[in-house]
């Protein structure tokens, strides 16, 4: 099966390759059509769905997958959030979300000024390209959970939903 993921970020690509290990997984850069730093569950999910749809249509793949990281607010605190979407050839859309952790005040304050999480994390961790490696989740969990693993969980949720639907409705 041919699967396109709407990102060239290695953590996202590797997450899809691990979950769809027996399939042909290809990455392509597509637009999320949301802000570079999504600020709600709705906006983050919209970005993931847009990426998945672009892949499914543009490359005529059997499955298109979009993964998007963002932040969302609960009771005045900003939390890391992540969403994924899978679109099949029949244009069915499957959605899933993953881990959430609160972000420290200094990161939240930087985000409120319009800076992106990736840029803030590089400065905070004194490393380059944190978003392409352990991610904010890795930094703030002492590498107990890394970004690829977080996205792998979301991709497993997507794959499981899609497989269940295929089993229940093979011709739909």
pTM tops 0.85, yes or no: yes
Give residue-wise pLDDT tens across range 46-100. 999 999 999 998 766 689 999 999 999 999 999 999 999 999 988 999 999 999 9
CB burial of 63-86 (b: ≥16 within 10 Å; e: otherwise) equals bbbbbbbbbbeeeeebbbbbbbbb
Alpha carbon of residue 84 to chain centroid: 5
**Cβ neighbours for 46, distance < 8 A, ≥ 6 positions apart:** 32, 33, 34, 38
């Amino acid at each position: 099966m041919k699967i396109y993921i709407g990102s060239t970020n290695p953590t996202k690509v590797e997450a899809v390759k691990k979950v769809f290990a027996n399939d042909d997984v290809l990455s392509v850069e597509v637009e999320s059509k949301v802000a570079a730093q999504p600020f709600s569950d709705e906006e983050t999910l919209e970005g993931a769905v847009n990426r998945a749809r672009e892949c499914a249509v543009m490359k005529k793949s059997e499955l298109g997958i979009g993964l998007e990281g963002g932040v969302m607010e609960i009771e005045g605190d900003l939390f890391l959030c992540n969403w994924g979407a899978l679109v099949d050839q029949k244009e069915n859309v499957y959605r899933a979300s993953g881990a959430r952790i609160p972000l420290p005040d200094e990161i939240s304050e930087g985000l409120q000024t319009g800076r992106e999480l990736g840029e803030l994390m590089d400065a905070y961790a004194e490393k380059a390209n944190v978003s392409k490696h352990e991610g904010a989740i890795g930094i703030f969990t002492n590498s107990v959970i890394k970004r690829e693993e977080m996205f792998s969980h979301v991709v497993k949720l997507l794959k499981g939903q899609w497989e269940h639907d295929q089993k229940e409705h093979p011709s739909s």
